[in-house]
Chains A and B, each alone.
Chain A
Amino acid sequence: MGYALPFTGTYAMLGESIVNGFELYLEQSDGEIDGQEVETVERDTEADTNRGVDVTRELMVEEQADAIVGPVSSSVAIAMMQTIENEASAIWLNANAGDYRVVEEGCLNYHFRTSFNDWQTSAPLAEWVYDNVADNVCLAYADYAFGQNSKNFFQKAFEEAGGEVVDEVGAPLGTDDYSTYLSDIESSGADAVFSFFAGSDAVNYISDFADYGLDAEMTQVGSGFLLSEDTLPAQGEAALGMYSLLHYTPTQETDRNQEFIGNYREAYDSSANVYACQGYDSAQAFAAAVAEAGSSDPDEMANALGGMELDSPRGSFRFNSETHEAIQNMYVREVVESDGDQPVENQVVETIDSVESPNWGCNLE
């Protein structure tokens, strides 16, 4: 099993969480899958497309990996597709990279999304926003592929639901100060704003939004990465009352999730996050594939996984047999005050059941 993940640079924390999640599952099964000891090899993609391709080839050809887990960045994933297809010697458990084009352009039998795609984290929120929040919105997004995809998917679904998009504002990735963008958002006159920002951009954007008092004028809704476990501690009370959509929320009160959270804390002395869940589910998928196929032959494993259901901390989900995307519940969460060690946390306010993405012309059946 080979990790093709970033262990250095901006995304290092995500890579580490995915590995932690995967190894938690291995530990719980004594390091064995289907009676065989699992050997793991780590390779650093450095979130660089060229490195990603080299690492993938190395893991498949030299290390003879049966499964590749990773990457974090979608541009790395798109660069890896060709190599996976050419070598055809391993299944690919995509534990984070969410660009829909991995499926649209790749449509690989070996590719399984144990994570999410950018349509899932934006479009299903549109109808809920229209019904519960506002019938007109302004769109705000980090101006790169994932941000553009997210706002386009949301816009389409929101207009289909009957809503109106009154304005849109794109800010460059890595913007430190959102003042001027916020004045555009404010002057749009919209009742709500749908946003896609992630990481430190999300921290700056949400903090500025509250600093300027816009939270009193309009409702903030967005993709789950806008208000996630890695940004909420820094956003703090500025994030209160905002809504976002994601496939996993650590505060979910199911037994399955609480058990996962508890085990994770015991093993790593830190809180599990969405990336850890994706890593954990990648391990579950690998184990299930081997068990069902009775071997580690990549074609047999891929056939076994298509349509298969997994019991995940996020709630059970299954792989679409046409696209190998996860068909999963999406959760609308609200940021509320917490009595835990952080001032605020996400609380699920609505579950959108078994969300199935478009197939983007990919049919593997």
Chain B
Amino acid sequence: MVETFLRATLLGVQLGMTLALIAAGLTLIFGMLDVINFAHGALYMLGAYFGAVIAVNLGSFWLALVLAPLLVGLIGAAIEVLSLRPLYGRNPLYHILLTFGFAIMIQGAIVQIWGGQARRIAQPDLLTGTLSIGSLNYPIYRLFVLVVSTVLIAAVWLAIDRSNLGILMRASAHDTEMVDALGIDVSKVFTSVFVFGAVLAGLAGVLLGASRSVNPGMGMGIIIEAFVIVVIGGLGSFRGAVYAGLLIGLVTAYGALIAPTLTDLFLFGLMAVVLMIKPNGLFGTTEAA
């Protein structure tokens, strides 16, 4: 019993941190660019597919972990520069439709190129097997995912909170014209934020692609969860995404223990309760909402 609870907790935290990694990009892009990026799930999926191809052809998980997110970042840059940039300042509906279109196009392209079959990124030999924690056996790879996502989340948090770049990002989002007037190219800041969000999604894709199947439905599957997290945490709040990610991870893991078929109900129920008590999400500001 204790073991089951412990395993669910570990799983919940691991799931939470990876979900936070995905939601972080989504919420950063919304917070800074005011864009609801429906293509985020598709970028995550692209990361997984690029990772799978690189891992097979170059025979290295580690190369896949580095190269695939960078490729996704390039595609993110193309999307931002060529299509989103001309639409800034318009009704958010334009961004939603545009990015939703990209999600469908990317999914279609993936089916065309790689077919509909599920695949998987092979885990590196170094990380296979299980680790015994007392009487509990836990896969080493999952612990690796937990550590990597936690370190990344912490690094991004620090960067936003403390570094000059973070200050610049927040300032650009807060008062675009003022930053522009100070002689800083805001459009470059926006592109960087979008690319950074895409890289995080791609990275999560590779990380999870080695512990769950890589398939053409994975992008649409994850985007709903990511949006629930962003809404619970407060639109645009990075801190909110991290806490909400952890919350959703734990709810999913414990929910599966209590009533497996009701997991989705728990998620959306939780979202409804949070929104009733705090309409702007846990860490949302009235401005962001």
Interface residues of B in 127-168 (CB under 8 A from A): 129-130, 137-139, 141-142
Q: Which listed residue, B8, B116, B130, touches A212 by the CB 8 Å rule?
A: B130
Would you call B247 an interface residue if the criterion is a C-beta within 8 Å of the partner chain's C-beta atoms?
no
- Verify B253–A180 contact, CB threshold 8 A: yes
Knowing A13-B117, A230-B117, A234-B120 touch, does A143 contact B260 (C-beta < 8 A)?
Answer: yes
Of A61-69, A153-161, A196-204, A243-251, the segment with at least 4 beta carbons within 8 Å of chain B is A196-204
Task: Kindly list the 6 A-B residue pairs having the minimum CB-CB distance in the complex, ordered from nearest.
Answer: A203-B213, A200-B118, A13-B116, A211-B139, A180-B256, A200-B213
Knowing A183-B7, A204-B212 touch, does A170 contact B221 (C-beta < 8 A)?
Answer: no
Q: A1-18, CB under 8 A of B: which get 1 and which 0?
A: 000000000101100000
- Verify A207–B120 contact, CB threshold 8 A: yes
CB-CB nearest in chain B for A205: B213
CB-CB nearest in chain A for B118: A200
CB-CB nearest in chain A for B15: A177
Q: B11-50, CB under 8 A of A: which get 1 and which 0?
A: 1000100000000000000000000000000000000000
Would you call A362 an interface residue if the criterion is a C-beta within 8 Å of the partner chain's C-beta atoms?
no
Q: Which residues of chain A are within 8 angstroms of B260 by Cβ–Cβ distance?
A: 143, 169-172, 175, 180-181
Would you call B211 an interface residue if the criterion is a C-beta within 8 Å of the partner chain's C-beta atoms?
yes
Query: Shortest Cβ distance from B2 into chain A, in angstroms?
Result: 11
- Verify A233–B261 contact, CB threshold 8 A: no
Q: Which residues of chain A are within 8 angstroms of B63 by Cβ–Cβ distance?
A: none
- Verify A207–B211 contact, CB threshold 8 A: yes
CB-CB nearest in chain A for B225: A176
Q: Which residues of chain B are within 8 angstroms of A98 by Cβ–Cβ distance?
A: none
Knowing A12-B116, A213-B137 touch, does A180 contact B211 (C-beta < 8 A)?
Answer: no
Q: Which residues of chain B are within 8 angstroms of A199 by Cβ–Cβ distance?
A: 118, 215
In angstroms, Cα B214 to Cα A208, docked, is 14
In angstroms, Cα B213 to Cα A170, docked, is 19
- Verify B11–A180 contact, CB threshold 8 A: yes
In angstroms, Cα B213 to Cα A50, docked, is 30
Would you call B119 an interface residue if the criterion is a C-beta within 8 Å of the partner chain's C-beta atoms?
yes
CB-CB nearest in chain A for B132: A213
In angstroms, Cα B197 to Cα A121, docked, is 45
Q: Which residues of chain A are within 8 angstroms of B212 by Cβ–Cβ distance?
A: 176-177, 203-204, 207
In angstroms, Cα B115 to Cα A200, docked, is 13
Would you call B4 an interface residue if the criterion is a C-beta within 8 Å of the partner chain's C-beta atoms?
yes
Would you call A231 an interface residue if the criterion is a C-beta within 8 Å of the partner chain's C-beta atoms?
yes
Would you call B3 an interface residue if the criterion is a C-beta within 8 Å of the partner chain's C-beta atoms?
yes
Q: How many residues of A contact B (CB 8 A)?
A: 33
In angstroms, Cα B129 to Cα A10, docked, is 32
In angstroms, Cα B262 to Cα A171, docked, is 10
Q: Give the interface of A toward B (CB within 8 A).
A: 10, 12-13, 143, 169-172, 174-177, 179-181, 183-184, 187, 199-200, 203-204, 207-208, 211-213, 230-231, 233-236
Interface residues of B in 176-218 (CB under 8 A from A): 211-215, 217-218
Q: Which residues of chain B are within 8 angstroms of A179 by Cβ–Cβ distance?
A: 7-8, 11, 142, 253
- Verify A172–B261 contact, CB threshold 8 A: yes
- Verify A234–B119 contact, CB threshold 8 A: yes
In angstroms, Cα B218 to Cα A234, docked, is 15
In angstroms, Cα B116 to Cα A230, docked, is 9
- Verify A176–B221 contact, CB threshold 8 A: yes
Q: Which listed residue, B15, B142, B213, B217, touches A204 by the CB 8 Å rule?
A: B213
Query: Shortest Cβ distance from B239 into chain A, in angstroms?
Result: 25
CB-CB nearest in chain A for B128: A211
In angstroms, Cα B116 to Cα A250, docked, is 20
Q: Which listed residue, B116, B130, B264, touches A213 by the CB 8 Å rule?
A: B130
Knowing A179-B253, A211-B211 touch, does A233 contact B7 (C-beta < 8 A)?
Answer: no
Query: Shortest Cβ distance from B175 into chain A, in angstroms?
Result: 41
In angstroms, Cα B260 to Cα A204, docked, is 16
Knowing A13-B115, A179-B7, A200-B217 touch, does A211 contact B130 (C-beta < 8 A)?
Answer: yes
Query: Shortest Cβ distance from B240 into chain A, in angstroms?
Result: 23
Q: Which residues of chain A are within 8 angstroms of B120 by Cβ–Cβ distance?
A: 203, 207, 234-236
Q: B99-123, CB under 8 A of A: which get 1 and which 0?
A: 0000000000001000111111010
Q: Which residues of chain A are within 8 angstroms of B213 by Cβ–Cβ distance?
A: 200, 203-204, 207, 234
Query: Shortest Cβ distance from B7 into chain A, in angstroms?
Result: 5
Would you call B263 an interface residue if the criterion is a C-beta within 8 Å of the partner chain's C-beta atoms?
yes
Q: Which residues of chain B are within 8 angstroms of A208 by Cβ–Cβ distance?
A: 211
Query: Shortest Cβ distance from B112 into chain A, in angstroms?
Result: 11
Knowing A200-B118, A233-B119, A236-B120 touch, does A10 contact B130 (C-beta < 8 A)?
Answer: no
Q: Which residues of chain A are within 8 angstroms of B7 by Cβ–Cβ distance?
A: 179-180, 183
Knowing A174-B221, A200-B217, A213-B137 touch, does A236 contact B8 (C-beta < 8 A)?
Answer: no
Q: Which residues of chain B are within 8 angstroms of A172 by Cβ–Cβ distance?
A: 260-261, 263-264
Would you call B87 an interface residue if the criterion is a C-beta within 8 Å of the partner chain's C-beta atoms?
no
Q: Which listed residue, A177, A180, A212, touches B137 by the CB 8 Å rule?
A: A212
CB-CB nearest in chain A for B119: A234
Q: Which residues of chain A are within 8 angstroms of B81 by Cβ–Cβ distance?
A: none
Q: Which residues of chain A are within 8 angstroms of B11 by Cβ–Cβ distance?
A: 177, 179-180
In angstroms, Cα B43 to Cα A181, docked, is 29
- Verify B3–A183 contact, CB threshold 8 A: yes
In angstroms, Cα B213 to Cα A143, docked, is 19
